[in-house]
Structure 1
Amino acid sequence: MTEQAPGPSPGADAVRAWTDTYFNRTKAVVSRFGDCRVTYAVFLRRPVISAPRLATTWLDAVAAARGTKFDIELMHREGDWVGAGDPIFYLSGSFVQLADLETLLLQKLGAACVAAHNAYQMCLELPGVPFLAMDARHCAGAEMQDMMAYAAAIGSEAAKREGARGFIGNANDATAHWFGAPRGLGTMPHALIGYAGTTVRAAEMFHETFPDSDLTVLVDYFGREITDALAVCARFPDLAAAGRLAVRLDTHGGRFLEGLDPGSSYAVLERHAPQAVRRYRSETELRHLVGTGVSAAAVWRMREALDEAGYPKVRIVVSSGFGVGKCRVVAEARAPIDVVGTGSFIPEAWSETYATADIVEYDGAPRVKVGREFLLRRNGARKRNGEGHG
């Protein structure tokens, strides 16, 4: 993963306008009555993957702009698992210089750590399948877009250390560097198929414009996934035989894949993964297995159709709601997925992303509010550039 400064964010000169007023007033009070050196413990209330770089890089930039120095003791290396309430890092420095930074600091940590944990879990649920980050369109602006791409890359690297394929890239150029890539990946949206008038014509237009690129074609626009997938294969037999052609399933949850209904969906899984439907399932799990949209049965049915027509090397790309739970269920059904496109590592329950910072030392004296004694610094903290806890 390539090192790079974080994306758009309020600079050091804009902190006062963006921080909470009580922090600005605390800064004024401490400035009047005398500065002291403080240490903050920075943590989340739920298990996460450590993703502190955006926060610590910003702290370094603010310190440089203010002509001061902050000491950061990183307790968990980037990509390490962190338990609930366990400080990710301790931050020490002048109270006057740190008092007004808490609001923006926490914004840059919590969501990244939770998204990294989601990405990590998703990759481990489907360890043999590569993922493509498609989060950008669901982000609230460029700063969140940069944060979510960074988080997916960190979660991916953590999963790769446990044997997963992880994320192979993302869908836009601006954040591709987090995945060690020069540019984003992707071929066509539904809009291109609407413009072309048919799925085959859209594929032709794309191939004529980008003849050296592999071709991934959306096949759900007209509700004829099987028919249009086979038509594209017949139009590009050389690409199909060379493994350079893929079909992407993005069937929405309002209907079944072409030719399927509840009964035939169960029948598909009985042929390929009967154990997946013979155990108790929640309503959500059943929908992932045999319901509408891109279910495990839909993927298996597409694989059947491609193989029966003589296109075993045509790959299947899936998208549409592939979060941790859906990845787990389709993995249990051994769905023959070649690539997952997803932005579902973006946290669903935003309240889970709330990071917290408490001061635990004033001029070296341990002191913290009652109930947070577990945050007091223990021996063994490691500097950011040293080796952290595994």
Structure 2
Amino acid sequence: MKEIEQKLSGEIERLTNRTFKFDERIKEGWFSAVYFLKTKEMAEKKLPDNYITMQFFQKTHEAVLCGTDEAIALVHAFADEPHTLEIHSLKDGDKIKPFESVLTISGAYQQFGFLEGIIDGILARRTSVATNVYNVVKAARTSGQQKPIIFMGDRDDHYTQQAGDGYAAFIGGSTAQATHAMNEWWGKQGMGTMPHAMIQMFRGDVVAASQAYLEMYPEDELVTLVDYNNDVITDSLKVARACGNSLRGVRVDTSRTLVDKYFLRNHHLMGTFDPRGVNPELIFALRKALDDEGFEHVKIVVSGGFNEERIRYFEQRGVPVDMYGAGGSLLKINIGFTGDNVLLNGIPEAKKGRRYRPNPRLEVVQYSEQTVDYT
């Protein structure tokens, strides 16, 4: 857990020379709305000398921008004569406001216009994930201490999204990811210890599973999943006694439909709070039980339905959590981008309600041949 617990930087360095994996059918317009393809054809035949500026922005949120490097790589890979285009862009990780221009592309429409919808989609998904993660990370930062967030979104969306989502989560502030694919664009590897399936193989014997893990992966820091038998405190103490200093943490992932056996043994606690799932009272009791037996070094990781609101509630109550695992809540797409043509041959020309919005924060993007893989 040492790498996971490293202090998160407030600034995100722009990562360059990554390999973006694009489908080669993009060049054929396979993923572009048909009306963009018709406009491209019309521009080629009727208005070949047009020169337009396309501007991208979102209208609803203060957000953490992500997807600009990917969008620029897309343009460089599939636009016609991309070296002749003029591109200005903010960076991944920049904070943005509603209606702020984040990317402009200038050139002949037929060179790149058919990519508009794809660029919108890239910016929408990446920015949504980065912003969701940023808000969760911020919720888990109290008293000057940043509690790590592990991004566990592999089971909540299609596997082909993992690399981009993992990178967006990194931009948002998560430095721990569940799969290798999630780490592909920022040069790390996936992390994790055991799922419930591993304990099931040992017929629910959490100690046996933990000891086998230590034997198989002696270089790993053992974090044992302790809710398999719905008796978190009992199983945590069993593993701690058996593994001693080799146990670095326990993870609690109790279903929201269950009440841990600890509360069934302590009926006097019932009736004043919701005892289901991973709740503050259970974690307070777990921390006390571990500390009382001298296992202060054992960290507590919680997962299962955690989002910004729930993490903020835990932190406000001072619940002794050392790390949060979050997944599905971080993948909600709630920020949409729009690409508008706003200049025609250097003269303002846009649909009513839209206009060219110069942004002094935009930086010139020099053409370079990005490394691109085709799927």
TM-score, with structure 1 as normaliser: 0.81
Structure 1 residues 299 and 148, CA gap change in structure 2 (3 angstroms): same
Deviations 1:106-144 (A, max 9, x none): 1211011111111111111112201212112222232x2
**Matches for 1:1-390 after TM superposition, within 5 Å:** 3=16, 5=18, 7-11=20-24, 14-35=27-48, 36-47=50-61, 48-51=63-66, 52-63=68-79, 66=81, 68-74=83-89, 76-127=90-141, 128-142=146-160, 144-156=161-173, 167-181=174-188, 183-197=189-203, 198-240=205-247, 245-260=248-263, 264=269, 290-344=274-328, 346-348=330-332, 350=333, 352-373=334-355, 376-378=356-358, 380=360, 382-384=362-364
Amino acid at match of 1:26: T
Q: Is the 8 A contact 1:168 1:179 kept in 2?
A: no
Contact map agreement 1:115 1:152 (CA 8 A) in 2 = yes
Higher relative contact order (CA 8 A, sep 6+): 2
Cα distance between partner residues in 2 of 1:385 and 1:23: 24
- 2:342 and 2:163 map into 1 onto residues whose CA distance is 31
Deviates more, 1:20-29 or 1:44-53: 44-53
CA contact under 8 A between 1:318 and 1:341: conserved in structure 2? yes
Native 8 Å contact 2:100 2:359 kept in 1: no
> RMSD between aligned alpha carbons?
2.3
For residues 306-334 of structure 1, give each alpha carbon's deviation from its aligned partner in whole angstroms, at most 9, with x where no partner exists.
11222111111111122111111111011
Shift of 1:266: 7.8
Contact 1:42 1:90 survives alignment (8 Å): yes
Aligned length: 343
Distance in 1 (alpha carbons) for counterparts of 2:99 and 2:176:
32
Asked if the contact 1:16–1:24 (Cα under 8 Å) also holds between the matched residues in 2, the reply is yes
Question: How far apart, CA to CA, are the structure 2 residues paired with 1:115 and 1:379?
Answer: 24
Q: Deviations over 1:166-205 (max 9, x none)?
A: x232111223244542x11111111011011111111111
2:218 alignment partner, SS class? coil
Q: Is this contact kept in 2: 1:359–1:368, CA < 8 A?
A: yes
Give the Cα separation in 2 of the matches to 1:322 and 1:354.
24
Query: Cα gap change, 1:385/1:296 in structure 2, threshold over 3 Å: closer, same or farther?
Result: farther
- Give ranges in structure 1 of 5+ residues lacking alignment: 157-166, 268-285
What secondary structure does 2:190 align onto?
A: coil
Aligned partners of 2:361, 2:290: CA distance in 1, in Å? 55
**1:372–1:212: structure 2 CA closer, same or farther, 3 Å change rule?**
same
Distance 1:69 1:265 in 2: 70
Point out the structure with the larger helix share. Answer: 1
- Mean alpha-carbon deviation: is it higher for 254-263 or for 338-347? 254-263
